[in-house]
Structure 1
Amino acid sequence: MTDLHHPDIDTLIEFPCDFELKAMGRHCEEFIDLVFNITQKHVPDASRENIRLNESKGSKFVSVKIKFYATHINQIHGIYGDLNEHPDVLMTL
C-alpha cells in the first residue's frame, strides 16, 4: 500500500496550500450540504463561509466551489473520490 503522506509522491501542487474545488449537481440545499460535508470529512476545519455558488441559467443546476487549506494530497484525493462516487454529483473540477 502506498503512503499518500510520503513527500516523494509526484504532484504539481506544493503543500500546504489554499485549494479550491468545484462540484456540480442539481440546485438544492442538500447538494450544497453534501459537498460541504464531504469536504469537511477530509478537512475538518473547512468553513461554510468559503463556499461560493454559481447557478445555471434556469437555476436547475449549481456549481459549488469551496476553498480550504490543504496540507497533503490524500485530502484532495479523498474529497474528489467521495464526490465522484456520489450519484448526485454530476461533475467535479
Structure 2
Amino acid sequence: MNRPIPPEESLIEYPSAFPIKVMGAHVEGFETAIVEVAMQFDPGFDPGCVERRPSKGGNYLGLTITVTATSRDQLDELYRTLTSHPLVKVVL
C-alpha cells in the first residue's frame, strides 16, 4: 500500500487548477461522460472550459479538462475512474 505523501514532499500545491488530457473515440456521449466524471470529483467544474482536439482523421477526440485538485487521493481516484471508463483510451 502507498504511504501518504506529506504536503511538503508533494509536487502539487493544493488546491490548484490541474489539467488532465483524456482521449477516446470521437463518438456521441464521450464528452458528456467525461464532464460527468469531472463533476463527481470537482463539483465546481466548468464544462464550458473543456478544450477539444479532434484527431486528423476525426476518429478520436482529445479533451483537456481542468479540475480543482484538492488532494492526491482525489486525483488518484479521478485517474482510476477515467482510465476504467469504457469510452476512454488514454489519460495523461
- What interval of TM-score do these two structures reach, taking the shorter chain for normalisation? 0.7 to 0.9
Aligned-residue offset at 1:46: 0.5
Note the alpha carbon deviations across 1:20-51, whole angstroms, 9 max, x for none: 00110011231101111111101111010110
Q: Distance in 2 between matches of 1:77 and 1:59?
A: 30
Give me the whole-angstrom Cα distance separating, in 2, the residues matched to 1:33 and 1:24: 13
Q: What's the TM-score, normalizing by structure 2? A: 0.86
Task: Name the CA distance, whole Å, in 1 between partners of 2:46 and 2:32.
Answer: 12
Count of aligned pairs:
91
Gaps of 5+ in 2: none
TM-score by length of 1: 0.85
Secondary structure of the structure 1 residue equivalent to 2:63: strand
Query: Which residue is 1:84 aligned to?
Result: 83
RMSD: 2.0
**After the TM superposition, which residues 1-93 of structure 1 pair with which residues of structure 2 at under 5 Å, given as runs?**
8=6, 10-93=9-92
Q: Percent identity?
A: 29
Q: Which runs of 5+ in 1 are unaligned?
A: none
